[in-house]
Amino acid sequence: MLDLLIRGGLVYDGSGGPAFEADVAVHGDVIEAVERLDGAEAVRVIDARGLAVAPGFIDTHTHSDVMLLANPQHAPKLQQGVTTEVLGQDGISYAPLSPRNLEIYRRYVAGLNGIPDILWDWSTVAEFRARFERTVAINTMYLIPHGAIRLEVLGMRDRPLVGADMKRAQALIAQGMEEWAVGFSTGLSYFPQSWSDTDELVELCRPVAKKGGLYVVHLRTVFRGARYDPVWETLEVGRRSGVSIHFSHFRTHPATAGKTDQLLAPIEAAKAEGLDITMESYPYPSGNSTAVMLVPAWAQEDAPEGILECLRDPDRRARIVAEMESTVDPSLGVSFADYVYSYLPSGRNDDIVGLNFLEATKQRGADSPSDLVCDLLLDEGLAVGFLIGPPAPAIWQTLDRDLMRLFARPDYTIGSDSVLAGQKPHPRTYGTFPRLLGRLRREYGGPSLETLINRATGFAAQRFGLRDRGLLRRGKAADLVIFNPETLTDTATYDNPISAPVGIEFVLVNGQLALERGKPTGILAGRTLP
Q: Per-residue pLDDT tens for 184-194? A: 999 999 999 99
Measured CA to CA, the distance from residue 357 to residue 168 in angstroms comes to 42
Residue 326 has pLDDT above 80, yes or no: no
Greater confidence (79 vs 229) lies with 79
| Residue 331 confidence class, pLDDT cut points 50, 70, 90 | low
Average pLDDT, the chain: 96
Report yes or no: 255 and 332 within 8 Å, Cβ to Cβ: yes
Average pLDDT rounded to a whole number, residues 499-519: 98
| Residue 335 confidence class, pLDDT cut points 50, 70, 90 | confident
| Residue 325 confidence class, pLDDT cut points 50, 70, 90 | confident
Report yes or no: 248 and 400 within 8 Å, Cβ to Cβ: no
Report yes or no: 295 and 100 within 8 Å, Cβ to Cβ: no
Measured CA to CA, the distance from residue 483 to residue 506 in angstroms comes to 7
Report yes or no: 218 and 60 within 8 Å, Cβ to Cβ: no
Average pLDDT rounded to a whole number, residues 31-48: 96
Average pLDDT rounded to a whole number, residues 65-86: 98
Amino acid code (one letter) for 274: G
Q: Is the dihedral of CA 50, 468, 470, 63 positive or negative?
A: positive
Quote the pLDDT of residue 9: 98
Measured CA to CA, the distance from residue 145 to residue 184 in angstroms comes to 6
Average pLDDT rounded to a whole number, residues 463-475: 97
Report yes or no: 115 and 158 within 8 Å, Cβ to Cβ: no
Give 395's strand partners.
none
Report yes or no: 500 and 437 within 8 Å, Cβ to Cβ: no
Global confidence as pTM: 0.97
Q: How far is the CA of 154 from the CAs of 88, 99, 121, 301, in angstroms?
A: 20, 15, 22, 11
- pLDDT tens-digit readout, 345-367: 999 999 999 999 999 999 999 99
Give percent of the chain with pLDDT exceeding 90: 95
Quote the pLDDT of residue 439: 98
Quote the pLDDT of residue 228: 80
Give 35's strand partners.
23
Give me the residue spans of the domains in the chain: 57-98+137-288+392-487+499-516, 290-388
- Exposure letters 407-426 (e unless 16+ CB within 10 A, then b): beeebbbbbbbbbbbbbbbb
Closest by Cα among 270, 255, 263, 174 to 213: 174
The secondary structure of 264-309 as a DSSP string is HHHHHHHHHHT--EEEEE-SSS--EEEGGGGS-GGGTTTTTHHHHH
Amino acid code (one letter) for 178: E
- pLDDT tens-digit readout, 487-506: 999 999 999 999 999 999 99
Amino acid code (one letter) for 395: I
Domain 57-98+137-288+392-487+499-516 top-level CATH class = alpha beta
Average pLDDT rounded to a whole number, residues 470-491: 98
Alpha-carbon torsion angle 382, 198, 179, 76, nearest 10: 50
Length of the chain: 530
Quote the pLDDT of residue 332: 56
Give percent of the chain with pLDDT exceeding 70: 99
Report yes or no: 62 and 87 within 8 Å, Cβ to Cβ: yes
Alpha-carbon torsion angle 290, 296, 298, 304, nearest 10: -20
Quote the pLDDT of residue 243: 98
- Exposure letters 231-250 (e unless 16+ CB within 10 A, then b): bebbbbbbebbebbbbbbbb
Q: Which of 69-83, 129-143, 227-241 has the lowest mean pLDDT?
A: 227-241
Quote the pLDDT of residue 225: 74
Quote the pLDDT of residue 226: 75
Indicate left, alpha or beta for 300 from its phi (over 0: left) and psi (-120 to 50: alpha): alpha
Closest by Cα among 67, 113, 120, 58 to 90: 113
Report yes or no: 351 and 363 within 8 Å, Cβ to Cβ: yes
Amino acid code (one letter) for 56: G
Measured CA to CA, the distance from residue 530 to residue 42 in angstroms comes to 29
DSSP state at residue 222: E
How many CA atoms does the CB half-sphere of 248 hold within 13 Å?
Answer: 30
Measured CA to CA, the distance from residue 168 to residue 178 in angstroms comes to 15
Amino acid code (one letter) for 323: E
Pairing of strands 277-281, 226-227: unpaired
| Residue 224 confidence class, pLDDT cut points 50, 70, 90 | confident
Residue 330 has pLDDT above 70, yes or no: no
Closest by Cα among 229, 144, 224 to 181: 144
Report yes or no: 157 and 192 within 8 Å, Cβ to Cβ: yes
Indicate left, alpha or beta for 415 from its phi (over 0: left) and psi (-120 to 50: alpha): beta
List the end-to-end C-alpha distance of the chain, in Å, as a whole number.
Answer: 29
Quote the pLDDT of residue 432: 98
Measured CA to CA, the distance from residue 378 to residue 224 in angstroms comes to 25
Closest by Cα among 207, 218, 85 to 147: 218
Amino acid code (one letter) for 254: P
Average pLDDT rounded to a whole number, residues 476-486: 98
Average pLDDT rounded to a whole number, residues 471-496: 98
- pLDDT tens-digit readout, 393-421: 999 999 999 999 999 999 999 999 999 99
Residue 198 has pLDDT above 80, yes or no: yes
Measured CA to CA, the distance from residue 269 to residue 235 in angstroms comes to 10
Greater confidence (222 vs 523) lies with 523
Average pLDDT rounded to a whole number, residues 453-463: 98
* Phi/psi at 299 (5° precision): -90, 0
